[in-house]
């Protein structure tokens, strides 16, 4: 029988983590108390809320919970705490690199505007990285429910702060709304500025949304992308182009994209040669962090330790980490497997 290695000791890169969704539940309760925010019962129950976002009502409920949590982040010290704690959680789970995704427009009203919000976030990332030793970078994400012109503003801002730790540009929220091509100009601005294009696609809608991300936004990574498993030609395309899919198994089940952990097509993607980076998405709402995603691959999909090590390598190679950081993490993965 194979020696079962500790997955929290496996070095890995975390490429799909949303800002508010990274919060510890205990921190949310403290901040809500501090600001007198009455949270929905689902956020105070002490266990992950039951979410089914594959219909409009379910997605609206998910967004309502997310917005309630976000309303508790009001001051620079709240932002600093959130990033530091997210970094501490990831270090505990074996991450050596984190790329956290944020739409700063959501925090701008409390933090004095869009530019101050971006600067507060980047300062928080810098100090959390220094304090924890975790390499942290930022993806600014546009909201596909908002006007594409807003996305262009964000893309320009992202490029402007590329030397302060912004490495990519994303597109989040309900992919059933807003066509990918509406945001092509924003992504062109980001790419021309040297940023990685990493829009969400292939989660709530099928393979077509992944194709749109590739064709219209020239995605280098896809947030989720799991529904590509339904289209063998698309799987080949992703594998041939080396486009990494940021797959979040616990999130997929919590949102009702798949019924059970074993239904998430991890094995289909892996066997097709599509690079994957397992991610926790929104641990606050889905109840599990980074190492738990690797545990799902092991327990529900029969991934061996050698295959789990390969998943970790894929996460590192798909990251925007400098080469020396990648080399160090890859060496650590080999050491974990040899142990």
Q: Which positions are annotated as active-site residues?
A: 203
Asked if 246 and 15 count as a contact pair (C-beta separation under 8 A), the reply is: yes
- Comparing CA positions, the residue from 93, 232, 101 lying closest to residue 170 is 101
In the structure encoding, which two tokens stand for residue 217, read together? 């936004």
Specify whether the CB–CB gap between 45 and 73 falls below 8 A.
Answer: no
Contact yes or no for 142/155 (Cβ under 8 A): yes
SS3 assignment for 190-251: HHHCCCEEEEEECCCCCHHHHHHHHHHHCCCEEEECHHHHHCHHHHHHHHHHCCEEECCHHH
Edge-to-edge strand ranges of the sheet holding 196-201: 12-18, 95-102, 135-143, 166-172, 196-201, 221-224, 244-246
d(CA 190, CA 195): 5
CA distance 137 to 129: 9
- Round to whole Å and give the CA distance between 95 and 318: 14
| 247 token code pair | 């797959």
Count the alpha carbons within 13 Å of 109 in the hemisphere toward its beta carbon. Answer: 5
């Amino acid at each position: 029988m194979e020696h079962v290695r500790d997955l929290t000791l496996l070095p890995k890169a975390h490429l799909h983590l949303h800002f508010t969704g990274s919060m510890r539940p205990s921190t949310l309760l403290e901040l809500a108390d501090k600001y007198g925010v009455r949270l929905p019962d689902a956020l105070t129950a002490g266990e992950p809320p039951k979410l089914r976002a594959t219909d409009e009502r379910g997605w609206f409920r998910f967004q309502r919970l997310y917005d309630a949590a976000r309303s508790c982040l009001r001051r620079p010290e709240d932002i600093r705490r959130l990033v530091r704690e997210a970094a501490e959680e990831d270090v505990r789970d074996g991450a050596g690199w984190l790329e956290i995704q944020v739409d700063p427009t959501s925090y701008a009203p409390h933090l004095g505007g869009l530019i101050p919000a971006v600067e507060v976030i980047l300062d928080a990332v810098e100090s959390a990285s220094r304090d924890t030793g975790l390499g942290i970078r930022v993806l600014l994400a546009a909201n596909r429910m908002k006007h594409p012109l807003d996305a262009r503003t964000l893309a320009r801002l992202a490029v402007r702060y590329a030397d302060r730790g912004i490495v990519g540009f994303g597109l989040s929220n309900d992919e059933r709304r807003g066509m990918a091509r509406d945001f092509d100009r924003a992504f062109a601005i980001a790419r021309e500025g040297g940023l990685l294009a990493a829009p969400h696609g292939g989660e709530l809608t099928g393979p077509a949304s992944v194709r749109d991300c590739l064709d219209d936004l020239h995605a280098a990574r896809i947030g989720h992308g799991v529904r590509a498993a339904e289209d063998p030609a698309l799987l080949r395309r992703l594998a041939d182009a080396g486009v990494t899919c940021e797959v979040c198994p616990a999130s997929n089940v919590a949102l009702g994209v798949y019924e059970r952990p074993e239904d998430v097509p991890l094995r289909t993607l892996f066997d097709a040669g599509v690079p994957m980076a397992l991610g926790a998405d929104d641990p606050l709402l889905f109840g599990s962090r980074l190492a738990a995603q690797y545990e799902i691959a092991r327990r529900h999909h029969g991934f061996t330790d050698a295959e789990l090590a390969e998943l970790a390598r894929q996460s590192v190679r798909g990251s925007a980490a400098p080469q020396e950081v990648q080399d160090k993490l890859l060496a650590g993965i080999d050491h974990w497997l040899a142990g």
